[in-house]
């Protein structure tokens, strides 16, 4: 696995680089198919963020992308935090695959549409916000103000190939989010998978309604 270490607003010492290489050896055993790891060591110049002035971001590339980051006053502590989050994500992905193969929670049992949409809110689960990604195409995201209010909505657009529900769940676990938007290869509809309790998941398919029917319903 290739490891690229980049410092932003700071120089990465040889000792820090050695620590990163040592810790990535453990990651290689948990993710043998990973081909590249990008490690960004960031120094925050804003004095108001002195307690989190050192941040380490780790992005693992393979069949998918796994990302983890942590911030602290000391960059070695931030490295430990980011590595812990990365390892936890990899273990979670491995355990979910084991459970699937054992038949304990097969993907055929994933609830669809309104069957599970309400449960997520009832369970008090909160959906994580989507962060901007590095290398996003120009114009892929923009801010839309709401007239008469201080609220601004950030709109993002990205291209993605159609995939199955199983692949979408794998990608959701890889990026560490509670939901994942995708084009369903089987139905051709815009869809979203989301995490429920335990090892269960939900999927919502969005189908365009007839405008006339919508008016009658209203």
Pairing between strand 36-43 and 2-8?
parallel
For residues 60 and 151, membership in a common domain is answered with: no
Q: Is residue 171's pLDDT more than 50?
A: yes
Residue that wins the pLDDT comparison between 59 and 62: 59
For residues 120 and 94, membership in a common domain is answered with: no
How do residues 107-122 score in pLDDT, each as one tens digit? 444 554 444 444 444 4
* Mean pLDDT of the 183-199 span: 84
For residues 137 and 88, membership in a common domain is answered with: no
For residues 74 and 163, membership in a common domain is answered with: no
CA angle 159, 6, 63 (to 5 degrees): 40
Output helix, strand, coil percentages for the chain, rounded to the nearest 5.
35, 30, 35
Q: Token match 């601004």: residue?
A: 152
Query: What is the model's pLDDT at position 131?
Result: 44
For residues 153 and 82, membership in a common domain is answered with: no
For residues 127 and 205, membership in a common domain is answered with: yes
Query: What is the model's pLDDT at position 127?
Result: 37
For residues 68 and 97, membership in a common domain is answered with: yes
For residues 11 and 55, membership in a common domain is answered with: yes
For residues 43 and 142, membership in a common domain is answered with: no
DSSP character for 52?
Answer: G
For residues 212 and 114, membership in a common domain is answered with: yes
For residues 112 and 209, membership in a common domain is answered with: yes
Q: Which of 81, 101, 121 is where one domain is finished? A: 101
Q: Which of 101, 123, 141 is where one domain is finished? A: 101
Question: How remote is the C-alpha of 187 from its chain's centroid?
Answer: 24
CA 110/CA 169 separation, integer angstroms: 10
Structural domain count, the chain: 2
For residues 171 and 96, membership in a common domain is answered with: no
Gyration radius from the chain CA atoms: 20
Q: What is the CATH number of the domain that holds 54?
A: 3.30.160.100
Query: What is the model's pLDDT at position 178?
Result: 81
Domain that holds residue 158: 108-217
Pairing between strand 65-72 and 201-206?
unpaired
Q: Which of 101, 120, 141 is where one domain is finished? A: 101
Band the pLDDT of 204: cuts 50, 70, 90.
very high
How do residues 3-58 score in pLDDT, each as one tens digit? 999 999 899 999 999 999 999 988 887 888 888 999 999 998 887 777 788 999 99
Query: What is the model's pLDDT at position 207?
Result: 85
Query: What is the model's pLDDT at position 74?
Result: 93
Q: What is the CATH number of the domain that holds 208?
A: 3.30.505.50
- CB atoms under 10 Å from CB of 135, counted, come to 5
CA 121/CA 123 separation, integer angstroms: 5
């Amino acid at each position: 696995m290739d490891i690229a270490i980049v410092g932003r607003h700071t120089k990465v010492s040889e000792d820090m680089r050695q620590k990163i290489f040592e810790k990535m050896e453990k990651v290689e055993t948990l993710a043998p198919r990973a081909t590249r790891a990008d490690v960004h060591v960031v120094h925050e110049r804003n004095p108001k963020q002195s307690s989190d002035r050192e941040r380490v971001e780790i992005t693992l590339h393979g069949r998918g992308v796994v990302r983890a980051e942590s911030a602290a006053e000391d960059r070695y502590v931030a490295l430990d935090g980011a590595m812990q989050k990365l390892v936890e994500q990899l273990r979670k992905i491995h355990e979910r695959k084991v459970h699937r193969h054992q038949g304990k929670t097969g993907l055929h049992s994933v609830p669809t549409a309104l069957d599970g949409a309400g449960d997520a809110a009832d369970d008090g689960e909160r959906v994580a916000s989507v962060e901007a990604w590095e290398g996003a195409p120009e114009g892929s995201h923009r801010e839309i103000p709401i007239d008469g209010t201080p609220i601004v909505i950030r709109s993002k657009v990205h291209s993605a190939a159609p995939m199955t529900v199983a692949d979408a769940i794998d990608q959701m676990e890889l990026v560490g989010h509670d939901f994942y938007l995708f084009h369903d290869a089987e139905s051709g509809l815009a869809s979203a998978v989301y995490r429920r309790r335990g090892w269960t998941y939900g999927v919502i398919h969005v189908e365009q309604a007839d405008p006339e029917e919508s008016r009658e319903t209203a």
